[in-house]
């Protein structure tokens, strides 16, 4: 029998429905995995073993209330939790104990899920890395800012984890760690109780080991049951997939370029309508607009920290805040206007396509732990507010995960998830776990 910690949320839920597995057995399995691997991977800021086991026993003694009943979840350490510390990735908040849960954490508990612990975040979900390492090779970054969430799911410590994305903080670590990462349409998952960074861009997302799993959690937390996927969700449809190298194509290494082109060919051979497209050069300026909006809003979001505790901020964040403080409201308003123009423009592009196949990252996870990698292939799509999903698609010569990304227009989450499910079935490349 496969150890429970290795299974997906959907597989675990079916086993519990059939009486083949209890929540207590699952939690014990996950905790054993954490005990065996945490010293190496360092994915967790806090693990609530006793609380999780107590919650599991309670779940086992109650009727099942849904597919997340008794399922453990990791929560990025910028989400408030009433029963665990929340540090936001900063020593400023060592020992900080919120009085309540973030809204989406409370919803998870209401659905019967068990919060196993808090996963490592970079400093305030920015670029200064935490302690987490890539489980495929401990000398490589796991990406960020949702470092611990992606690594914990990839290393089978937990089947599902919450993250956030302001630039590329769900897609990038998921791609580097070889799991499925999903950033929904902006605003679809409530952010109350999540430490804000950029109010115009911050989005709650998910890390899991299958597209069906991210579709499940999205449907439940967004209140959109029609987004839940079944085994036949993606069948009987010819998917229209635009292949977009993007203006940043020269940033991709040779391995990632080859994988991208092979993926496009495989999808065409499997029956999709696939065609190369080019974005209008005006979209390229969206990268700069994302930076301006994010920095202008970050300066204000972190006002307390930079005015009262600047000595506890990293040099990386201080440098960013220095740039952010110089952003003018005129530049900010211009960037927001350009973002709206781009959103109107991309809606026209998507009239012809169900999804765009685009790069997720520049290549495999870079060596070294001092940097979390470049979000260059995520910024534009985050700015455009549409859904984005990364799917494992192969391995580099060094055995590290490689991935592709599908993006959709805002409010097309249902369609994008079904297209992603079909793409996942064609790639058949859910990477073997350790």
Active site residues: 76, 145, 169
Task: Please state at what angle helix 286-301 crosses helix 315-325, rounded to 10 degrees.
Answer: 100
Spatial distance between the Cα atoms of 295 and 299, rounded to a whole number of angstroms: 6
- CA torsion sign, 358 to 234 to 275 to 348? negative
Task: Tell me the sheet residues that pair with 79.
Answer: 194
| Bridge partner residues of 405 (DSSP) | 358, 390
The residue count for the chain: 434
Q: Tell me how far apart the alpha carbons of residues 59 and 108 are, in angstroms, rounded to a whole number.
A: 13
Tokens at residue 161, please?
């984890």
Cα–Cα distance for residue pair 153/179, rounded to 1 Å: 7
How many Å separate Cα 217 from the centre of its chain? 12
DSSP string, 172-218: HHHHHHTSEEEE-STTSS--TTB--S-TTT-EEEEEESSHHHHHHHH
d(CA 247, CA 278): 8
Identify whether the C-beta of residue 45 lies closer than 8 Å to the C-beta of residue 98.
Answer: no
The 3-state DSSP class for residue 239 equals: coil
Nearest to 41 by CA among 161, 176, 140: 140
CA-CA-CA-CA dihedral for 107, 109, 112, 114, to nearest 10: 130
Longest CA pairwise span in the chain (Å): 61
């Amino acid at each position: 029998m496969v150890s429970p910690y290795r299974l997906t949320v959907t597989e675990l839920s079916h086993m519990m429905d059939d009486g083949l597995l209890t929540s207590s057995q699952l939690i014990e399995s996950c905790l054993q995995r954490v005990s065996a691997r945490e010293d190496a991977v360092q994915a967790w800021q806090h693990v609530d073993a006793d609380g999780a086991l107590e919650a599991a026993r309670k779940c086992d003694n109650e009727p099942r209330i849904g597919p997340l009943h008794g399922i453990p979840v990791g929560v990025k350490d910028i989400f408030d939790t009433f029963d665990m510390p929340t540090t936001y990735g900063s020593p400023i908040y060592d020992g900080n104990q919120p009085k309540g849960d973030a809204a989406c954490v409370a919803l998870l508990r209401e659905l019967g899920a068990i919060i196993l612990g808090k996963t490592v975040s970079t400093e305030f979900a920015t670029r200064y890395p935490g302690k987490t390492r890539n489980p495929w090779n401990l000398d490589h970054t796991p990406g960020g800012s949702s470092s611990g969430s992606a690594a914990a799911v990839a290393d089978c410590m937990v089947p599902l984890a919450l993250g956030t994305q302001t630039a590329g903080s769900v897609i990038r670590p998921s791609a580097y760690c070889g799991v499925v990462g999903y950033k929904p349409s902006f605003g679809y998952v409530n952010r109350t109780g999540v430490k804000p960074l950029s109010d115009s861009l911050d989005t709650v997302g998910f890390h899991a080991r299958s597209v069906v799993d991210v579709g499940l959690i999205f449907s439940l937390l967004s209140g959109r049951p029609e987004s839940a996927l079944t085994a036949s969700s993606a069948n009987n449809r010819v998917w229209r997939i635009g292949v977009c190298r993007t203006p940043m194509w020269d940033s991709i290494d040779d391995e990632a370029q080859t994988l991208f082109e092979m993926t496009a060919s495989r999808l065409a051979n499997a029956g999709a309508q696939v065609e190369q497209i080019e974005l209008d050069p005006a979209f390229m300026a969206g990268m700069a607009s994302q930076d301006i909006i994010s920095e202008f809003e970050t300066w204000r979001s972190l006002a307390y920290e930079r005015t009262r505790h600047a000595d506890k901020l990293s040099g990386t964040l201080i440098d960013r805040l220095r740039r952010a403080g110089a952003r003018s409201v005129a530049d900010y308003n211009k960037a927001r206007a350009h973002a709206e123009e781009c959103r109107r423009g991309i809606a026209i592009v998507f009239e012809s396509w169900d999804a765009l196949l685009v790069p997720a990252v520049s290549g495999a996870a870079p060596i070294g732990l001092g940097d979390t990698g470049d979000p260059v292939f995520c910024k534009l799509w985050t700015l455009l507010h549409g859904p984005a999903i990364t799917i494992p698609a192969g391995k580099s010569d060094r055995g590290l995960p490689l991935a592709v990304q599908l993006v959709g227009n805002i409010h097309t989450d249902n369609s994008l998830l079904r297209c992603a499910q079909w793409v996942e079935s064609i790639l058949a490349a859910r990477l073997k776990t350790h």
